[in-house]
Amino acid sequence: MGLIVYGAALSPFVRKTRVFLAEKGLDYKLEQVNIFPPPDWFKALSPLKRIPVLRDEEAGPEATLPDSSVICAYLERKKPEPALYPKDNFAYARALWFEEYADSELAGNVGMGVFRPVVVSKLMGKEPDRAAAEKTLTEKLPKYFDYLDKEIGGNAFLVGNAFSIADIAVATQFVNLAHAGYVPDEAKWPNLGRYLKPIHARPSFAACIAEEKDLLSKFGF
């Protein structure tokens, strides 16, 4: 009896969940699911047809949860230590804000504007659309980089001087950006560039990134 994550390794939300599990020291099994289109059995687990979905066999045979934010909140309750949500009330709310900001605004532009036209297109046998990615990088992403660079400042973490769900949610989006061949210009966003390197070097992130790079290398990336 254990934990099963249904999803695709290259998804930033699946990675977010896997990093969270690794930081908690929780063992799990990853079951790959292709959502283009999703199989019928998966639709019953995920009403929005999105990944990831977590199955906790200890909680019962039908115990599944969709959505990375819901999953991470559940895992925090299941294994409170080490804490990945701040204890302080305001810091806790700030962490949730950064998680939402990353999962919605940042993910939408990185995913649809850069990762999908470059990486997903190639995985599906199509020519990568670098022009579309460059347009997103030039016209849409700078305001997000500006905001994060300002919020990070000289700190190592986004909230409360400790690694948290805020850092996981934000940093996972930049892995997908890097897979597409782009990183924020450190001359323009020095705080963001300095911040991301040690976050991505954490064993929890590094293991996922290495696995994903190996997968992408098979497709010529």
83 located within any domain: no
**Quick one: residue 92, left, alpha or beta (phi over 0 = left, psi -120 to 50 = alpha)?**
alpha
> Phi then psi for 172, rounded to 5 degrees?
-65, -30
Residue 55 sits in the same domain as residue 143: no
- Decide: residue 142, CB within 10 A, 0-12 exposed, 13-18 middle, 19+ buried: middle
At residue 81, the pLDDT reads 98
Q: Is 30 domain-assigned?
A: yes
> Which parts of the chain sit beneath pLDDT 50?
none
How far is the C-alpha of 196 from the C-alpha of 194, rounded, in Å? Answer: 6
The region that residue 100 occupies, defined by phi over 0 for left and psi between -120 and 50 for alpha, beta otherwise, is alpha
Instruction: Judge if 18 and 120 occupy the same domain.
Output: no
Domain of 100, CATH number, reads: 1.20.1050.10
Nearest-angstrom CA–CA distance, 12 and 206: 14
Q: Which of 20, 45, 78 lies at the terminal end of a domain, its last residue? A: 78
Look at the block and give the residue holding tokens 């996981």. Answer: 168
Query: Do 56 and 145 lie in a common domain?
Result: no
pTM to 2 decimal places: 0.96
pLDDT value, residue 40: 86
DSSP 8-state code for residue 87: S
* Domain span at 48: 3-78
The last residue of one of the domains, among 78, 97, 130, is 78
Q: What is the pLDDT of residues 68-108, one digit of tens each?
A: 999 999 999 999 999 999 999 999 999 999 999 999 999 99
Give me the pLDDT at residue 1, please. 60
**Who contacts 170 (Cβ-Cβ below 8 Å, separation ≥6)?**
98, 101, 102, 106, 148, 158
**191-212 pLDDT, tens digit each:** 999 999 999 999 999 999 999 9
Q: What tokens were used for 37?
A: 């289109």
